[in-house]
């Protein structure tokens, strides 16, 4: 399978949103609100300051995606990129799509002078974790905690 890795375009929003919906259902058994999700995806595609999507494509069909968001580190006096929204369609898993996306993110990060690339993975997602570790990522010792501030 020949893969093309490219920056996502505005016209990719529906596929990206659908992949995000599938990701939430598969990994966290969550049903995301379509209007909220579609709006969030469109806003990222319209504003590089919010993040960037990259897609893996074969034969004109998107088969994988990831998004990068940014964190400023005063300790490092530099940017940290966070890989998020990692998804490869079930029929394309095992073909190296995420590996290619990951290497593309790293190349873009190096070109931008970014010193660290991170991601978080759900503790129960052992398959994804094994792939990330095989690609050279390692646990940092940090745990991610959160508090929701918006009410539904």
CA quadruple 85, 82, 92, 59: dihedral positive or negative? positive
| pLDDT score, position 144 | 87
Would you kindly state where each structural domain of the chain is located, as residue ranges? Answer: 4-134
**pLDDT tens digit sequence for 66-90:** 999 999 999 999 999 999 999 999 9
Per residue in 92-148, pLDDT tens? 999 999 999 999 999 999 999 999 999 999 888 899 999 999 999 999 988 888 898
33 to 1, 123, 133: CA distances (angstroms): 33, 24, 32
Indicate whether 152 pLDDT > 70.
no
Of 143 and 20, more confident: 20
Between residues 128 and 150, which one has the greater pLDDT? 128
Quote the tokens at residue 68.
Answer: 């990068």
Q: What is 4-134's CATH topology? A: Aminopeptidase (3.40.630)
Helix pair angle (34-46, 13-28), 10° resolution: 130
What gap in Å lies between CA 42 and CA 87, rounded to an integer? 17
């Amino acid at each position: 399978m020949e893969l093309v890795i490219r920056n996502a375009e505005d016209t990719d929003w529906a596929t990206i949103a659908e992949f995000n919906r599938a990701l939430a259902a598969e990994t966290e058994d969550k049903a995301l609100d379509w209007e909220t999700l579609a709006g969030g995806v469109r806003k990222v595609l319209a504003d590089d300051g919010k993040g960037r999507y990259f897609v893996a494509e074969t034969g004109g069909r998107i088969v994988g995606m990831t998004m990068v968001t940014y964190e400023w580190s005063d300790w490092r006096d530099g940017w940290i990129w966070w890989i998020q929204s990692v998804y490869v369609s079930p029929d394309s898993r095992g073909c190296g799509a995420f590996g290619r996306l990951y290497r593309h993110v790293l190349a873009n990060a190096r070109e931008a002078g970014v010193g660290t690339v991170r991601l978080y993975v759900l503790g129960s997602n052992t398959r994804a974790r094994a792939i990330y570790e095989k690609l050279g990522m390692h646990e940092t010792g940090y745990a991610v905690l959160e508090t929701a501030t918006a009410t539904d």
